[in-house]
């Protein structure tokens, strides 16, 4: 009889890939670390903010509790892209974040990447995008992760279909996941699950990743909304060494932090 848990969690692989919140909740408990990829735009915005020295607190998409959550953590609150003002110049727009003053802490809601990060517990969470895959892979493997007994789960966030509570597998996140897998392979992580191998194969086969992201559905949507600059920032390929790691509920630069102790090691000490 087939053990469904084994195939569901891609057992035996050091690098695993699955979609959205359900994938994160499924793979997270069986992983040494979880990498969220939401290229347009949560993880790109996180990378830009952390580059500037801002700690980013993820929370699910804006609701009545976002204001209270920000106040409780003495943090600025990001608003919708079209709602920015001189008083609140922060939003999910990476281009707007780059041009705004850098707060010490920022609550950054999003329905996809932020909601996934906020929903995962008991495992280190890293924010990856097209801007930082090499740094992310180096940091993860330096922790001793990316093996069959200490696997890394990569979670492309996807998008929401308009008016539906369903994940749209977003090509930019699939390509971003593949870029992270490729960087992990270069850093020595192995073996790959079939899902991770497929993501890497997609990335390896694309000759113009920025062009593809500009032309995909999410990129065209942002351009039509007047936020093409966000796609330009998101496609700054492998340009930052910042590794946003969720630490005590806030993304900070893990590359500047001491080695993280794996929870299995904690149980052994």
64-90 pLDDT, tens digit each: 788 999 999 999 999 999 999 999 999
> Is 54 inside a domain boundary?
yes
Tokens 């699950």 -> residue = 193
The pLDDT assigned to 168 comes to 87
The domain tally of the chain equals 1
The pLDDT assigned to 267 comes to 31
Q: Give the chain's count of helices (H) and strands (E).
A: 13, 11
> Is 5 inside a domain boundary?
no
Largest pairwise CA distance in the chain: 62
Least confident of 46-60, 136-150, 195-209, 254-268: 254-268
> Is 129 inside a domain boundary?
yes
Q: pLDDT tens digits, residue range 180-198?
A: 999 999 999 999 999 999 9
Beta-strand pair 250-253/244-247: antiparallel
More confident residue, 139 or 3: 139
Residue 187, domain CATH: 3.90.1560.10
Mean pLDDT, range 137-148, rounded to an integer: 98
CA distances from 6 to 13, 107, 134, 269 (A): 11, 36, 29, 28
Helix axes 194-204, 171-186, angle to 10 degrees: 100
> Is 125 inside a domain boundary?
yes
Q: pLDDT tens digits, residue range 24-39?
A: 999 999 999 999 999 9
Are the beta carbons of 84 and 96 closer than 8 angstroms?
Answer: yes
Are the beta carbons of 174 and 156 closer than 8 angstroms?
Answer: yes
> What range defines the domain where residue 65 resides?
11-268
> Is 6 inside a domain boundary?
no
The pLDDT assigned to 146 comes to 98
Reported as half-sphere exposure (CB side, CA atoms, 13 A), residue 105 has a value of 15
> Is 187 inside a domain boundary?
yes
Q: How is residue 28 annotated by DSSP?
A: G
> Is 4 inside a domain boundary?
no
Band of residue 263 on the pLDDT scale cut at 50, 70, 90 = very low
Q: What is the Cα–Cα distance from 37 to 64, expressed in whole angstroms?
A: 26
> Is 236 inside a domain boundary?
yes
């Amino acid at each position: 009889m087939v053990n469904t848990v084994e195939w569901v969690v891609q057992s035996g692989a050091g690098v695993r890939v699955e979609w959205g919140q359900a994938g994160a909740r499924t793979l997270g408990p069986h992983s040494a670390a979880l990498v969220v990829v939401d290229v347009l735009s949560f993880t790109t915005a996180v990378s830009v903010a952390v580059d500037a020295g801002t700690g980013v607190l993820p929370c699910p998409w804006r609701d009545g509790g976002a204001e209270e959550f920000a106040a409780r953590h003495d943090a600025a609150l990001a608003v919708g892209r079209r709602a920015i003002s001189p008083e609140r110049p922060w939003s999910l727009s990476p281009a707007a974040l780059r041009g705004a003053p850098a707060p010490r802490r920022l609550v950054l809601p999003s329905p996809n990447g932020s909601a996934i990060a906020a929903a995962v517990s008991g495992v280190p969470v890293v924010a990856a995008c097209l801007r930082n895959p090499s740094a992310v892979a180096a940091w993860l493997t330096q922790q001793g992760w990316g093996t069959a007994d200490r696997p890394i789960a990569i979670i492309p966030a996807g998008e929401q279909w308009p008016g539906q509570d369903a994940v749209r597998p977003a090509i930019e996140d699939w390509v971003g996941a593949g870029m992270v897998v490729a960087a992990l392979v270069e850093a020595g992580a192995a073996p790959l699950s079939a899902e991770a191998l497929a993501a890497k194969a997609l990335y390896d086969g694309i000759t113009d990743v920025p062009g593809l992201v500009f032309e995909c559905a999410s990129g065209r949507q942002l351009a039509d909304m007047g936020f093409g600059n966000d796609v330009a920032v998101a496609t700054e390929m492998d340009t930052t060494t910042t590794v946003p790691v969720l630490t005590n509920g806030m993304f900070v630069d893990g590359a500047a932090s001491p080695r993280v102790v794996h929870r299995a090691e904690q149980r052994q000490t």
